[in-house]
Structure 1
Amino acid sequence: MKKVLVGLLVLVALSIFAVQVNYGIFADITTTNIWNLLGSGSSAQNFAVQLWKYPSLLGMNKDGTLIPSAATEIPKLVKEGNMYTVTVKLRKDMRWSNGAPFTADDVVFTYMTVKEMEIPGGNWSGAYEPEKVEKIDTWTVKFYFKEKETMTIYYDTLMTAIVCSNYWKPIVEKAKKQKDPVKWLLSQEVIDPGITALNLGKIEKGAFVQVTKQVPDYKYWAYGEKNIYYKGGGFSIVNPKTGFKWSTGDTKQPVTLQVENGPFVDTIVYKVFGNKQVAIQALIAGDIDYIYNPVGLTAGEAEQLKGQKDIKIVSNPQLGFRYLAFNMRKFPMNVKEFRQAIAALIDRDFICNQVLQGRAIPLATPVPPANSFWYNSAVKTIGEGLSMGERYQLAVSLLKKAGFKWDTEPVIDPKDTKNPVKTPGKGLKGPDGKPVPTLTLLSPGMDYDPMRAQTAMYIEQWAKNIGIPLNLKLTDFNEIVTKAFDDVDFDMYILGWGIGRVPTYFKSFWHSEEMAPEGFNTPGYSNPEFDALIEEFEYADTFEQARKAIFEAQRILAEDLPYIILFTNPLIEAYRTSIKFPFDQMLDGIQGYYGFPEGVKKVQ
């Protein structure tokens, strides 16, 4: 009887002291099957609740630095005969939540299953790259590649999610005996082991999904592991429990951030809401601690939460940008000084801070500053720091330099901060003496994107003030896409891109082999020096070499200006101060870390 009472008291104590946080999501999860999760079942909600539990060989820290995850180090790409190989040494201290050790068997099984069964889905694309994946020993695996596509290998193949082979192997073997093996495998709704202490618990469709701690702290291999950031970019991983250590850069500098691995909560409940307004009200009422939303809050929604008790609003740059593109196949867009003159007129700080009232962040390059490893901070926009009058003056001088003339040359007083254009330009003529034709700037309208529409209105007026015959056409988004990407029939347009953290998109947007309509190079930009840098980036022997190439590519783009990079949207998020995240200032926001399941703390 005494033992029963003690047992009951323990259960009561555990229930009293169990730590729970509540997140809001906007749809049910649709699958618990990793093969489907990274295929047709990919969704923001599925990823937020589950994807973080699977390991990969390599990863990136918050600064975008490549770091080992399940590997012990960053492996080297080596030429062997007619193949390129990567030999990966694995950590020996990692354990799946079912207690099985993480080994080379898990790695080989994952890659071979994807290839042999032809698992569909773009998120599995990295597993298709190697010709062969071979187990060397329990803690070593070797990849063989036909091509030396360094960036693809490191940032796609070696970042593929890995599954627990001793759990999945019998299921996959059974799948192979079915009439439609892949369909059968993807239809299995199971909760498999993860590499974390947390895993899926109760699922109530239309109501909530529960994630619970399933490995005690004292048994969890990663509990207490630290990620340490140093001034100047140094970084360390230190696991005091297992003794694993890895570092890169100067780790003798002062520590700027230390992130300790938990989990520090026993349960995370993801409550399903039909719409954002209901979730916002739940946040205000304290029913949830954080709203997970990949697109963040609108300015109006943020205003609604502003000043609410115990709620913190954070703003971070997104992975994406708005831009103005020139059709360099046509005059005068094919004249570099003309493009530079338009760029000189555009005061991004004024647009973002005054016109758009802080709802946008000015950008100088296609790499956001928060993506610090790839961002070239030395690149400046043309006219940066100048007054509007000085910008007009610079634009006029650039046009003159290229041989442009006016019937009535603009007269500028740079000291007049209110009305610097004393005489507007009229009758702009090219270097050949012929009038510059009326040009059209295409932009989405106010109903689709008021930020782009308002920006375009200012650009039109600034250009006209110095005699550039530019007419704005606010039009349907699809019309712009058709004219730019299919017909390639435009003068200038304003659109936006979502981008990846690793700037492989430089090739897609501006390499001469990617010309629209077959590719995404709508400006028709062709610069052999730029092309060579992109190829150097793709086939680099070291990451420093790749970084150096992208730094130089950013400099060239800022001078040649096939695009004028305008701004990015901040990602606005909100959470209650009853919880604490390891950090909340980073590229792509808290949602990019799925709300830190193993790092979030409940503030007592």
Structure 2
Amino acid sequence: MKRVILILIVMILTITPIGCSPIVEESAELLEGNNQVENENTEPRILRVDEQNLGYPSIYTVSPRGRGYLLMSLIFDTLTWKDENGVTAMLAKDWIVSDNNLEWTFNLVENANFTDGTKLTAVDVKFSFEYMMKHPHQWVNLNMVEKVEILDQHQVKIFLKEVYAPFITDVAGNVPIMPKHIWEKIDEPQKFNTDEAVIGSGPFTLAKYDIDAGSYIFEANEDYFLGKPVIDQLILSPNNQPALSLKNGELDAAQRLSYGEAMELKREGQFKVIEGPGLWVYRMYFNFDIPEFNQKELRQAIYYGINRNEIVEKALKKAGIPGNPGHIHPDSDWYSDVVKEYTYDPDKAKDLINQAGLSDKALEYELLVTDDRVDEAEMMKKYLGDIGISISVKAMDQKSVDSLISEGKFQLALNGHGSFGGDPVLLARFIGEGVNLGSTPTVTAQGGKKWSNEIFDDLFLKQLKETDYQKRYKIVAELQNIIAEELPTLTLYYRKITFAYNTEKLNGWYYTKDGVAIAVPTTQNKLIYINGTWGNQ
């Protein structure tokens, strides 16, 4: 009887024109094979969410973008984490910091296991930190760590070379803890993509990854130390029509909606729609190998020549807010509004170009942009043309744009990225050569000659060591003043993000303040799958 009922459930779920019917069918088989259907009257709790193909979800093989980190976090836990209120305990049940802020002692939970049944201990924590120091990771910077000592089976002490203000969030809350008995044999982690590579202590295990379809099936870790997840399976798969698929019952939640689609769903009232700051910034990059870009008057002229409000209104359809010249998002606790402003003023822009002695120079540049942002690029072409700067637009795929910017093979570029809330350590993207502190995702890096300012570098290093919030805030405000005056990048806008879901499935979604780990903006905080509720129960 149990098999007959399960087959009927699968048949109902798979009659869809657009969704992931093969994935749903296979997920039901996996559930049956693992005896997760507890009795004849219990249906499997399957949650289906749209997602892009982010690669194999192990630590070093998943996409370097923020969504890749989120995917990996379903499998691997960290010492601390964030919930809707801020920092919370994870594998470390509590911790103590020394008076000089250089020694952090973590007391680990005693009931955490890896999904191969091996107990998680201080040995694995020490190994994970040391492994990442030996094998650098794009989301983790451990330059401030001197050593890690095991005090006992469930207690570990981390010694820092110097005070690092965001340690508890950006290091303790960011380093995935790996099973030593597996990873100690791996010398090339970027090639490690076997079943062993996804053995972690997190709330889910990977049941299947379809590399061609870009889809994932995750199963609940029944022995998870925080309790079994409230869903049995999580299915993530690409979907080109998430709003329609949500309406048709092919998805239970949709995160890759356009802002307009989300607002329409909200008006219709069938699904719950939440909106939050995307912690995602769209900005203009300068290649400082081009001599005139080293003149701040030209950079300022370009900013005066761009109508940021019109971009948000027309290109984004109000799905964002105009950028702050000081770069930090206005919703951040570190935001300062006392910075130089640049209201749209083409005449002021032309005056600055004259002051820079560039009015007689042929200012002609290629503008690199992703092929889904051509509208913004064409607006830029018009704006800059009005102040005497000729632009040719070069549109490419996201991977190519990221690569060319990181290699310094561009003139002007428009690009966007997340990981923009959280600690002001993310301003590390503006520090000069040879200053190698902070945890900033390499996807935002810029190659070639960089903008450099010694005062900025000194202040940046100073604020990293300041643990008093008010004192640190004043330093960070000074950093924003420098950015607004010098404009090493032009912050154009911050995108809003939305999330729509069926309340008859999983409830309890929220936006994590400042994003998870080092500021990944999302509703996909894995704690929702632990603390949420299935339907209206």
Query: Shift of the alpha carbon at 1:306?
Result: 6.7
| Among 230, 233, 252, the residue aligned to 1:269 | 233
How far residue 349 of structure 1 moved from its aligned partner, in angstroms, is: 1.9
Query: What is the SS of the residue equivalent to 1:88?
Result: strand
CA distance in 2, matches of 1:547, 1:328: 29
Give yes or no for contact 1:323–1:496 (8 Å, CA) kept in 2.
Answer: yes
Q: State the distance in 1 between where 2:488 and 2:349 align.
A: 17
Going from structure 1 to structure 2, the CA distance change for 1:184 and 1:454 (only over 3 Å counts) comes to: closer
* Contact persistence 1:129–1:157 (CA under 8 A): no
In 1: Cα distance, 2:319 partner to 2:396 partner: 21
1:439 aligns with 2:363: yes
Shift of 1:542: 4.9
Residue identity in the other structure for 1:290 = A
1:475 to 383, 394, 399: 394
Match of 1:566 in 2: 492
Alpha-carbon separation, structure 1, partners of 2:295 and 2:244: 54
> In the TM superposition, what is the alpha-carbon distance from 1:493 to its structure 2 partner?
4.5
Residue 133 (structure 1) aligned with residue 165 (structure 2): no
Whole-Å Cα distance in 1 between the matches of residues 405 and 250 of structure 2?
Answer: 47
| Counterpart residue identity of residue 277, structure 2 | P
Give the deviation of 1:122 after TM superposition. 1.6
1:499 and 1:565 mapped to 2: Cα distance? Answer: 14
Paired position in structure 2 for 1:509? 430
1:447-466 matched pairs, under 5 angstroms: 447-461=371-385, 464=386
Equivalent of residue 284 in structure 1, options 247, 251, 261: 247
Task: Say whether the 8 Å CA contact 2:323–2:491 is kept in structure 1.
Answer: yes
- Counterparts of 1:44-193 in structure 2, within 5 Å, are 51-52=73-74, 54-62=76-84, 66=87, 68-71=89-92, 75-76=96-97, 85-90=102-107, 95-96=111-112, 106-112=121-127, 115=130, 122=137, 130-137=145-152, 140-146=155-161, 151=166, 155-156=170-171, 159-162=174-177, 171-172=181-182, 187-189=194-196
Matches within 5 A, 1:515-594: 520=446, 524-542=450-468, 545-578=471-504, 579-584=506-511, 589-594=521-526
Alignment of 1:215-294 (within 5 A): 265=230, 267-271=231-235, 273=237, 275-277=238-240, 280-291=243-254
Distance 1:380 1:184 in 2: 47
Q: Compute the displacement of 1:129 (Å).
A: 6.6
TM-superposition CA deviations, 1:37-83 (whole Å, max 9, x none): 212356889866662464422334557x555544465643676xxxx
Answer whether contact 1:302 1:572 (CA < 8 A) is retained.
Answer: yes
- Change in 2 beyond 3 A, CA 1:558/1:469: same
Specify whether residues 496 and 441 from structure 1 end up closer, same or farther in structure 2 by C-alpha distance, changes over 3 A only. farther
**How many angstroms apart in 1 are the aligned matches of 2:189 and 2:371?**
44
TM-score by length of 1: 0.62
Whether the aligned pair in 2 keeps the contact of 1:340 and 1:395 (CA below 8 Å) is yes
1:350 paired with 2:310, answer yes
Provide closer, same or farther for how the CA distance between residues 381 and 18 of structure 1 changes in structure 2, counting only shifts above 3 A.
farther
Q: Distance in 2 between matches of 1:493 and 1:57?
A: 38
CA displacement at 1:346 relative to structure 2: 3.0
Q: What is the letter of the counterpart of residue 87 of structure 1?
A: W
Q: Deviations for 1:218-275, whole angstroms, at most 9, x for unmatched residues?
A: xx9757xxxxxxxxxxxxxxxxxxxxxxxxxxxxxxxxxxxxxx95x3x2433354x4
**CA RMSD for the aligned pairs?**
5.1
**Shift of residue 554 of structure 1?**
1.2
Contact 2:204 2:220 in 1 (8 A): yes
1:38 equivalent to 2:59? Answer yes
> What does residue 7 of structure 1 align with?
none
Q: How many equivalent pairs are there? A: 479
Give, as a single letter, the amino acid of the residue that structure 1 aligns with 2:147.
Answer: K
SS of 1:373's equivalent? Answer: coil
State the match for 1:209 in structure 2.
Answer: 217
The verdict on how the C-alpha distance between 1:442 and 1:130 changes in structure 2, with shifts beyond 3 A counting, is same
Which structure carries more relative contact order (alpha carbon 8 Å, separation 6+)? 2
CA distance in structure 2 between the aligned counterparts of 1:134 and 1:270, rounded to whole angstroms: 37
Inter-partner Cα distance in structure 2 for 1:530 and 1:14: 63
- Is the contact between residue 126 and residue 153 of structure 1 (CA under 8 Å) also seen in structure 2? no
Q: Is residue 23 of structure 1 aligned with residue 48 of structure 2? A: yes
Q: Secondary structure at the match of 1:276?
A: coil
Letter in 1 for 2:107: L
Contact 2:122 2:154 in 1 (8 A): no
Q: 1:161: Cα distance to partner? A: 2.4
Structure 2: state its 5+ residue gaps: 1-35, 437-444
CA, structure 1 residues 114+345, in 2 after alignment: closer, same or farther (shift >3 Å)? closer
- Once the two structures are TM-superposed, the CA of residue 284 in structure 1 deviates from its matched residue by 1.6
For the pair 1:600 / 2:529, whether they are aligned, the reply is no
> Deviations for 1:367-397, whole angstroms, at most 9, x for unmatched residues?
2234x233335446323xxxx6xx456657x
Provide, for residues 190-215 of structure 1, a one-character-per-residue CA deviation record: whole Å limited to 9, x for no partner: 986736xx544966978873534736
Q: CA 1:523–1:569 in 2, change beyond 3 Å: closer, same or farther?
A: farther
Q: Distance in 2 between matches of 1:199 and 1:431?
A: 58
User: Displacement of 1:533 after TM fit?
Assistant: 1.0
Residue 120 of structure 1 deviates from its aligned partner by 5.1
- Asked whether the equivalents of residues 56 and 160 of structure 1 are also in contact (C-alpha less than 8 Å), the reply is yes
Partner of 1:381, secondary structure, is: coil
> SS in structure 2 opposite 1:136?
strand
Alpha-carbon spacing, 1:30–1:351, altered in 2? closer, same or farther (3 Å): closer
- Aligned letter for 1:40? T
**In structure 2, how many angstroms separate the alpha carbons of the residues matched to 1:116 and 1:487?**
30
Equivalence for 2:328? 367
Contact 2:297 2:356 in 1 (8 A): no
Which residue in 1 is equivalent to 2:4?
none
CA distance in 2, matches of 1:489, 1:128: 30
Show the counterpart of 2:16. none
Asked if 2 retains the 8 angstrom alpha-carbon contact of 1:23 and 1:289, the reply is yes
Q: CA distance change for structure 1 residues 485 and 436 in 2, over 3 Å: closer, same or farther?
A: farther
Q: Is the 8 A contact 2:321 2:495 kept in 1?
A: yes
- How far does residue 189 in structure 1 lie from its aligned partner after superposition? 3.8
Alpha-carbon spacing, 1:189–1:108, altered in 2? closer, same or farther (3 Å) = closer
- Cα 1:338–1:308, aligned 2, differ >3 Å: closer, same or farther? same
Q: Is contact 1:537-1:546 (8 Å) kept? A: yes
**In the alignment, what sits opposite 2:441?**
none
Conserved in 2, the CA contact under 8 Å of 1:25 and 1:45? no
Q: 1:314 and 1:595, CA in 2 relative to 1: closer, same or farther beyond 3 A? A: farther
Give, in whole Å, the separation in 2 of the partners of 1:184 and 1:450: 35
Percent identity of paired positions between Structure 1 and Structure 2: 18
The amino acid that maps onto 1:23 is R
Aligned partners of 2:296 and 2:408: how far apart in 1?
23
Offset, 1:436:
3.5
CA distance in 1, matches of 2:200, 2:287: 52
Deviation at 1:553, TM superposition (A): 0.6
In structure 2, what is the Cα distance between the partners aligned to 1:72 and 1:359? 39
CA 1:543–1:68 in 2, change beyond 3 Å: closer, same or farther? farther
